[in-house]
Amino acid sequence: MTHAYAPDDLEARAFFDEHGYVVLTPQFSPDERARLSSALDVLLARFADEQGLALDAYLANISQWRDLWRLDEVFRGALGDARLWSTAAHFMGRKGARLLHDHVIMKPAHASGTVPWHQDYPYWPVDTAEGLSCWCPLEDVGPEGGCLEVIDGSHRWGESPPVDFLADDRGAFDTRADRVRLPVPAGSVVVLHSLTWHRTGSNREVGNRPAYISLWLPPDARYAPEHSRWHPVNEHVTVRPGEILDEDWFPLFGEREIRSNGPRPLAHEGPVSRDGLSMFDASTKIADQLRRILARAGHAGDLAGGIGRLLALEGAVTTIVRVTLSSGVAAPGGEEALRAALERLRIASEAYRLHRARNVYNGAYVEWWQVAGAAWDAELSRQPARAAEA
């Protein structure tokens, strides 16, 4: 079992500084965890209903929910509890902590994937890597139950560009001698430096493995959109670039301590561009595909908007399936697979539009790309040349 420290143990801070992570003994009681779990269940049932889905169909497609503290007083109370914010402040060496966002990631047994190796900070639109996350499982997490895995001491390596989860190129980390698994009992808190390389595998044990995760910044973190222009939290920022993230959506707990005199230099300018499907532009790329397919078929309708709006147009799904088959982009007899992939795209798009929820494994995008998206990408790239020839 993973060695765990009491939060006030002086050795805990020293261990965190050296290793880039630390495990704290269970901080939340069974009753407290039950209240969080119950609050989550209520929210998920509501979300499924608002999408017109049965709960099991919804949970088969969606695995991550963000900004729960803005939706439910139980989660709001958890963030205001010193066992989270004061812990974050302590391990940052501060007297206060600012929330970037909270979220839950769920990994149902034998029905979940792997979140690849990555650092957290490259995904955050702020100018400091001094932040951290507090990872709190609401159920026991065994060594094969989707537990956190870290590369010991990797927070000292510096920052790399954000990893594209659809092009995991850090597989060599799996065999490193300094890879550490962190199975922990329910209610524990794993404090993770924002530069520590980590991942979670699939849950091959039992339960749904819901983990409540809060991401914390120093009180004087400044907005740096150029560091992560695509991150969803950008839509809630009203301060100007370079200003401290002082606003209600990013609440401060404890003291408003200012140490920095201005924006800090950034280590990279965003994701490394690549061909094919990328998690950073998958929704816009696929929406553009669907729009061009419908336009090719002369579909009568407003083709503006994203995936969900396009697929909601009358006859749109039938048209996309028909044109995909008649163009030879998908093999004959593939209608069922096409319709299933389009339905998953619709669910994913609507989940994000309505509740900023998503599938952390980008499963709907991957499925469409495998069934028809990659072939359409090649087909549509030839259209300008064909038009010129005509």
Do 171 and 65 reside in the same domain of the chain?
A: yes
| Rounded distance between C-alpha atoms, residue 128 and residue 179, angstroms | 25
Residue 354's pLDDT is 95
Residue 329's pLDDT is 85
Do 250 and 286 reside in the same domain of the chain?
A: no
Which tens digit of pLDDT belongs to each residue from 213-229? 999 999 999 999 999 98
| Rounded distance between C-alpha atoms, residue 54 and residue 170, angstroms | 37
Q: How many domains does the chain have?
A: 2
Residue 270's pLDDT is 67
In a domain, 351, yes or no: yes
Do 237 and 366 reside in the same domain of the chain?
A: no
Which of 254, 273, 298 terminates a domain? The answer is 254
* CA-closest candidate to residue 209, choices 151, 154, 292, 143: 143
Which of 234, 254, 274 terminates a domain? The answer is 254
What does 38-96 look like in DSSP terms, one character per residue?
HHHHHHHHHHHHHTT--HHHHHTT--EEE-GGGT-HHHHHHHTSTTTHHHHHHHHT-SE
* CA-closest candidate to residue 108, choices 42, 64, 169, 172: 64
Do 293 and 204 reside in the same domain of the chain?
A: no
User: Strands 357-358 and 64-66, how do they pair?
Assistant: antiparallel
Token duo for residue 99 = 């929330």
Would you call 259 helix, strand, or coil by DSSP? Answer: coil
Per-residue confidence in pLDDT tens, the chain, 390 aa: 579 999 889 999 999 999 999 999 999 999 999 999 999 999 999 999 999 999 999 999 999 999 999 999 999 999 999 999 999 999 999 999 999 999 999 999 988 888 999 999 999 999 999 999 999 999 999 999 999 999 999 999 999 989 998 887 777 898 899 999 999 999 999 999 999 999 999 999 999 999 999 999 999 999 999 999 889 999 999 999 999 999 999 999 999 988 876 666 667 666 776 778 899 989 999 999 999 999 999 987 889 889 999 999 999 999 999 999 998 888 788 899 999 999 999 999 999 999 999 999 899 999 999 999 999 999 998 865 444 333
Do 302 and 346 reside in the same domain of the chain?
A: yes
Do 319 and 370 reside in the same domain of the chain?
A: yes
Residue 80's pLDDT is 93
The DSSP bridge partners found for residue 203 are 145
How many residues are present in the chain? 390
Task: Express the helix, strand and coil content of the chain in percent, nearest 5 each.
Answer: 40, 15, 45
CATH number at residue 226: 2.60.120.620
* Whether 182 contacts 211, CB under 8 Å: no
In a domain, 277, yes or no: no
Do 307 and 363 reside in the same domain of the chain?
A: yes
**Domain span at 175:** 10-254
Q: Report CA Rg, the chain.
A: 22
